[in-house]
Protein backbone atom coordinates (compact mmCIF):
# COMPACT_ATOMS: atom_id res chain seq x y z
CA UNK A 1 0.00 0.00 0.00
CA UNK A 2 1.44 3.38 -0.96
CA UNK A 3 0.40 6.54 0.87
CA UNK A 4 1.70 10.08 1.23
CA UNK A 5 3.47 11.04 4.47
CA UNK A 6 3.29 14.85 4.90
CA UNK A 7 5.92 14.83 7.66
CA UNK A 8 8.65 13.69 5.29
CA UNK A 9 6.94 14.90 2.10
CA UNK A 10 7.16 11.62 0.21
CA UNK A 11 5.28 8.48 -0.68
CA UNK A 12 5.79 5.61 1.75
CA UNK A 13 5.38 1.93 0.88
CA UNK A 14 3.60 -0.05 3.60
CA UNK A 15 3.78 -3.82 3.44
CA UNK A 16 0.47 -5.63 3.90
CA UNK A 17 -0.56 -9.28 3.85
CA UNK A 18 -1.61 -10.69 0.51
CA UNK A 19 -0.22 -11.75 -2.88
CA UNK A 20 2.50 -9.70 -4.55
CA UNK A 21 1.08 -7.12 -6.96
CA UNK A 22 4.38 -5.81 -8.42
CA UNK A 23 7.57 -7.32 -9.86
CA UNK A 24 10.36 -8.01 -7.33
CA UNK A 25 12.67 -5.36 -8.84
CA UNK A 26 10.10 -2.66 -8.13
CA UNK A 27 9.71 -3.82 -4.55
CA UNK A 28 13.46 -3.48 -4.03
CA UNK A 29 13.43 0.08 -5.43
CA UNK A 30 10.47 1.10 -3.28
CA UNK A 31 11.77 -0.56 -0.12
CA UNK A 32 12.36 1.85 2.77
CA UNK A 33 13.17 1.74 6.47
CA UNK A 34 9.50 1.40 7.39
CA UNK A 35 9.10 -1.61 5.14
CA UNK A 36 12.25 -3.21 6.57
CA UNK A 37 11.03 -2.67 10.13
CA UNK A 38 7.73 -4.33 9.23
CA UNK A 39 9.62 -7.34 7.86
CA UNK A 40 11.67 -7.48 11.04
CA UNK A 41 8.46 -7.38 13.09
CA UNK A 42 7.07 -10.29 11.04
CA UNK A 43 10.21 -12.32 11.75
CA UNK A 44 9.97 -11.51 15.45
CA UNK A 45 6.33 -12.61 15.51
CA UNK A 46 7.27 -15.95 13.92
CA UNK A 47 9.93 -16.53 16.57
CA UNK A 48 7.49 -15.67 19.39
CA UNK A 49 5.36 -18.74 18.74
CA UNK A 50 5.47 -21.06 21.73
CA UNK A 51 4.15 -24.51 22.48
CA UNK A 52 1.84 -24.35 25.47
CA UNK A 53 -0.65 -26.86 26.80
CA UNK A 54 -3.95 -25.30 27.86
CA UNK A 55 -5.85 -27.93 29.78
CA UNK A 56 -5.52 -31.10 27.71
CA UNK A 57 -4.75 -29.47 24.36
CA UNK A 58 -1.29 -28.50 23.06
CA UNK A 59 -1.19 -25.23 21.11
CA UNK A 60 1.47 -23.48 19.08
CA UNK A 61 0.66 -19.85 19.85
CA UNK A 62 2.03 -16.43 19.03
CA UNK A 63 1.96 -15.31 22.67
CA UNK A 64 2.89 -11.73 21.74
CA UNK A 65 -0.81 -11.25 20.87
CA UNK A 66 -1.98 -12.51 24.27
CA UNK A 67 -0.62 -10.35 27.13
CA UNK A 68 -1.61 -12.74 29.92
CA UNK A 69 0.13 -15.76 28.36
CA UNK A 70 3.14 -13.62 27.49
CA UNK A 71 3.48 -12.65 31.17
CA UNK A 72 2.84 -16.24 32.24
CA UNK A 73 5.68 -17.54 30.06
CA UNK A 74 8.07 -14.85 31.27
CA UNK A 75 7.33 -15.91 34.84
CA UNK A 76 7.83 -19.58 33.96
CA UNK A 77 11.17 -18.83 32.30
CA UNK A 78 12.30 -16.87 35.35
CA UNK A 79 11.24 -19.57 37.79
CA UNK A 80 12.64 -22.46 35.76
CA UNK A 81 15.15 -23.18 33.06
CA UNK A 82 14.29 -22.41 29.48
CA UNK A 83 11.71 -24.90 28.24
CA UNK A 84 10.27 -25.71 24.84
CA UNK A 85 6.80 -26.54 26.17
CA UNK A 86 4.68 -25.06 28.94
CA UNK A 87 1.44 -26.03 30.65
CA UNK A 88 -1.47 -23.99 31.98
CA UNK A 89 -4.77 -25.06 33.49
CA UNK A 90 -7.83 -25.00 31.23
CA UNK A 91 -9.25 -21.62 30.20
CA UNK A 92 -12.99 -21.44 29.36
CA UNK A 93 -13.66 -21.33 25.61
CA UNK A 94 -9.96 -20.80 24.86
CA UNK A 95 -10.34 -22.57 21.50
CA UNK A 96 -12.99 -20.07 20.41
CA UNK A 97 -11.08 -17.09 21.79
CA UNK A 98 -7.93 -18.12 19.92
CA UNK A 99 -9.81 -18.66 16.66
CA UNK A 100 -11.41 -15.23 16.99
CA UNK A 101 -8.03 -13.63 17.64
CA UNK A 102 -6.35 -15.31 14.68
CA UNK A 103 -9.18 -15.38 12.11
CA UNK A 104 -11.28 -12.38 13.12
CA UNK A 105 -13.80 -11.99 15.93
CA UNK A 106 -16.64 -12.82 13.53
CA UNK A 107 -15.53 -16.46 13.81
CA UNK A 108 -16.82 -16.53 17.40
CA UNK A 109 -20.40 -16.21 16.15
CA UNK A 110 -19.86 -19.23 13.92
CA UNK A 111 -18.33 -21.37 16.67
CA UNK A 112 -20.84 -20.71 19.45
CA UNK A 113 -24.62 -21.21 19.59
CA UNK A 114 -26.94 -18.23 20.03
CA UNK A 115 -26.60 -18.53 23.80
CA UNK A 116 -25.77 -15.23 25.48
CA UNK A 117 -24.31 -16.96 28.55
CA UNK A 118 -21.57 -18.51 26.41
CA UNK A 119 -20.69 -15.13 24.94
CA UNK A 120 -20.48 -13.78 28.49
CA UNK A 121 -17.93 -16.50 29.20
CA UNK A 122 -16.02 -15.80 25.99
CA UNK A 123 -15.82 -12.06 26.65
CA UNK A 124 -14.66 -12.75 30.20
CA UNK A 125 -11.93 -14.98 28.76
CA UNK A 126 -10.78 -12.23 26.39
CA UNK A 127 -10.70 -9.85 29.36
CA UNK A 128 -8.75 -12.39 31.45
CA UNK A 129 -6.22 -12.88 28.64
CA UNK A 130 -5.69 -9.12 28.44
CA UNK A 131 -6.73 -8.92 24.79
CA UNK A 132 -7.82 -5.46 23.66
CA UNK A 133 -10.90 -6.53 21.72
CA UNK A 134 -12.01 -2.96 21.03
CA UNK A 135 -8.57 -1.87 19.86
CA UNK A 136 -9.10 1.59 21.34
CA UNK A 137 -12.24 2.16 19.29
CA UNK A 138 -15.14 4.24 20.53
CA UNK A 139 -18.78 3.37 19.91
CA UNK A 140 -18.78 5.83 17.00
CA UNK A 141 -15.81 4.00 15.45
CA UNK A 142 -17.58 0.66 15.81
CA UNK A 143 -20.71 2.04 14.13
CA UNK A 144 -18.62 3.17 11.15
CA UNK A 145 -17.20 -0.36 10.85
CA UNK A 146 -20.67 -1.89 11.15
CA UNK A 147 -21.69 0.09 8.08
CA UNK A 148 -18.70 -1.19 6.09
CA UNK A 149 -20.77 -4.19 5.02
CA UNK A 150 -23.20 -2.11 2.99
CA UNK A 151 -23.03 -2.12 -0.79
CA UNK A 152 -22.23 1.34 -2.13
CA UNK A 153 -22.60 2.78 -5.61
CA UNK A 154 -20.46 5.13 -7.68
CA UNK A 155 -21.14 6.82 -10.98
CA UNK A 156 -19.06 5.43 -13.84
CA UNK A 157 -19.63 6.44 -17.45
CA UNK A 158 -23.19 7.65 -16.73
CA UNK A 159 -24.02 4.38 -14.99
CA UNK A 160 -23.86 3.42 -11.35
CA UNK A 161 -21.46 0.63 -10.43
CA UNK A 162 -22.04 -1.42 -7.29
CA UNK A 163 -19.14 -1.57 -4.83
CA UNK A 164 -19.46 -4.66 -2.66
CA UNK A 165 -19.35 -4.01 1.07
CA UNK A 166 -16.82 -5.51 3.47
CA UNK A 167 -18.96 -7.93 5.46
CA UNK A 168 -16.00 -9.39 7.33
CA UNK A 169 -15.18 -6.00 8.85
CA UNK A 170 -18.84 -5.42 9.70
CA UNK A 171 -19.16 -8.80 11.44
CA UNK A 172 -15.97 -8.24 13.41
CA UNK A 173 -17.42 -4.91 14.52
CA UNK A 174 -20.64 -6.67 15.59
CA UNK A 175 -18.61 -8.76 18.04
CA UNK A 176 -16.83 -5.64 19.29
CA UNK A 177 -20.25 -4.06 19.86
CA UNK A 178 -21.30 -7.15 21.79
CA UNK A 179 -18.13 -7.00 23.90
CA UNK A 180 -18.72 -3.31 24.62
CA UNK A 181 -22.32 -3.96 25.74
CA UNK A 182 -21.39 -6.89 27.99
CA UNK A 183 -18.22 -5.61 29.68
CA UNK A 184 -17.71 -1.87 29.24
CA UNK A 185 -18.87 0.90 31.54
CA UNK A 186 -20.92 3.80 30.19
CA UNK A 187 -20.32 7.32 31.52
CA UNK A 188 -23.80 8.52 30.54
CA UNK A 189 -26.14 5.48 30.61
CA UNK A 190 -29.21 7.35 29.31
CA UNK A 191 -27.44 8.94 26.33
CA UNK A 192 -25.21 5.94 25.62
CA UNK A 193 -28.19 3.59 25.78
CA UNK A 194 -29.80 5.47 22.92
CA UNK A 195 -26.64 5.36 20.79
CA UNK A 196 -26.05 1.68 21.53
CA UNK A 197 -29.68 0.96 20.61
CA UNK A 198 -29.15 2.59 17.21
CA UNK A 199 -26.11 0.38 16.63
CA UNK A 200 -28.04 -2.73 17.70
CA UNK A 201 -30.93 -1.73 15.45
CA UNK A 202 -28.52 -1.41 12.54
CA UNK A 203 -27.31 -4.97 13.14
CA UNK A 204 -30.81 -6.41 13.61
CA UNK A 205 -32.15 -4.68 10.49
CA UNK A 206 -29.38 -5.82 8.14
CA UNK A 207 -29.84 -9.55 7.72
CA UNK A 208 -27.93 -9.35 4.44
CA UNK A 209 -24.75 -8.61 6.39
CA UNK A 210 -25.37 -10.04 9.85
CA UNK A 211 -26.55 -13.61 10.14
CA UNK A 212 -29.35 -14.75 12.43
CA UNK A 213 -26.99 -15.81 15.20
CA UNK A 214 -25.26 -12.41 15.27
CA UNK A 215 -28.53 -10.49 15.27
CA UNK A 216 -30.01 -12.69 18.01
CA UNK A 217 -27.06 -12.46 20.41
CA UNK A 218 -26.48 -8.73 19.94
CA UNK A 219 -30.13 -7.98 20.60
CA UNK A 220 -30.18 -10.26 23.66
CA UNK A 221 -27.12 -8.46 25.06
CA UNK A 222 -28.81 -5.08 24.71
CA UNK A 223 -32.01 -6.26 26.36
CA UNK A 224 -29.99 -7.69 29.25
CA UNK A 225 -27.89 -4.54 29.79
CA UNK A 226 -30.46 -1.79 29.15
CA UNK A 227 -34.16 -1.25 29.73
CA UNK A 228 -35.95 -1.80 26.43
CA UNK A 229 -38.89 0.57 25.94
CA UNK A 230 -42.11 -0.63 24.33
CA UNK A 231 -41.40 1.51 21.24
CA UNK A 232 -37.88 0.10 20.91
CA UNK A 233 -39.22 -3.44 21.24
CA UNK A 234 -41.74 -2.83 18.46
CA UNK A 235 -38.96 -1.41 16.27
CA UNK A 236 -36.68 -4.40 16.84
CA UNK A 237 -39.53 -6.88 16.39
CA UNK A 238 -40.22 -5.35 13.01
CA UNK A 239 -36.90 -6.70 11.80
CA UNK A 240 -36.95 -10.02 13.61
CA UNK A 241 -36.79 -12.97 11.27
CA UNK A 242 -37.07 -16.69 12.04
CA UNK A 243 -33.96 -18.79 12.29
CA UNK A 244 -32.96 -20.07 8.83
CA UNK A 245 -32.73 -23.79 8.15
CA UNK A 246 -28.94 -23.49 7.97
CA UNK A 247 -26.89 -20.75 9.58
CA UNK A 248 -23.39 -22.10 9.13
CA UNK A 249 -21.61 -20.75 6.05
CA UNK A 250 -19.88 -17.37 6.34
CA UNK A 251 -20.42 -16.74 2.63
CA UNK A 252 -24.09 -17.57 2.27
CA UNK A 253 -26.05 -15.68 -0.36
CA UNK A 254 -28.11 -12.76 0.87
CA UNK A 255 -29.91 -9.73 -0.45
CA UNK A 256 -29.68 -6.09 0.57
CA UNK A 257 -31.98 -4.87 3.33
CA UNK A 258 -34.74 -2.33 3.03
CA UNK A 259 -33.41 -0.51 6.09
CA UNK A 260 -30.34 1.24 4.69
CA UNK A 261 -29.23 3.52 7.56
CA UNK A 262 -29.32 3.40 11.32
CA UNK A 263 -31.18 6.38 12.67
CA UNK A 264 -31.32 8.41 15.84
CA UNK A 265 -34.20 7.26 17.98
CA UNK A 266 -36.54 9.85 19.48
CA UNK A 267 -36.08 8.17 22.84
CA UNK A 268 -33.16 9.15 25.10
Residue 168 neighbours by CB under 8 Å, 6+ apart:
104, 106
How far is residue 200's CA from residue 233's CA, in Å, rounded to a whole number? 12
**Does the residue 37 lie in any domain?**
no
Comparing C-alpha atoms, which of 245, 249, 164, 255 is closest to residue 206? 255
**Does the residue 176 lie in any domain?**
yes
**Does the residue 211 lie in any domain?**
yes
pLDDT band at 258 (very low <50, low <70, confident <90, very high): very low
For range 239-257, the mean pLDDT: 56
**Does the residue 224 lie in any domain?**
yes
**Does the residue 253 lie in any domain?**
no
**Quick one: pLDDT at residue 7?**
64
**Does the residue 66 lie in any domain?**
no
How many domains are there within the chain? Answer: 1
Mean pLDDT, rounded, of the chain: 80
The CA-based angle 96-101-106, given to 5 degrees, is 70
Whether residue 164 is predicted with pLDDT greater than 90 in this model: the reply is no
**Quick one: pLDDT at residue 98?**
96
β-strand partners of 85 = 51
Range of the domain at 216: 139-238
How far is residue 200's CA from residue 250's CA, in Å, rounded to a whole number? 20
**Does the residue 182 lie in any domain?**
yes
pLDDT band at 240 (very low <50, low <70, confident <90, very high): confident
Amino acid sequence: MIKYDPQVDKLILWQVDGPKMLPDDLYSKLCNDETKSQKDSSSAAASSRTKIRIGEILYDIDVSKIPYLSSFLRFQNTAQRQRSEFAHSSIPLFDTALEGLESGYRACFRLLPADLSQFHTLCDTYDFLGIDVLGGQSLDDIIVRLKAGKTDYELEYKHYRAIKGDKSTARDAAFQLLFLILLCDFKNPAKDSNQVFNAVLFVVSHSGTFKWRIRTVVRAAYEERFVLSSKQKVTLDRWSKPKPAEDVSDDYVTTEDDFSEYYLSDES
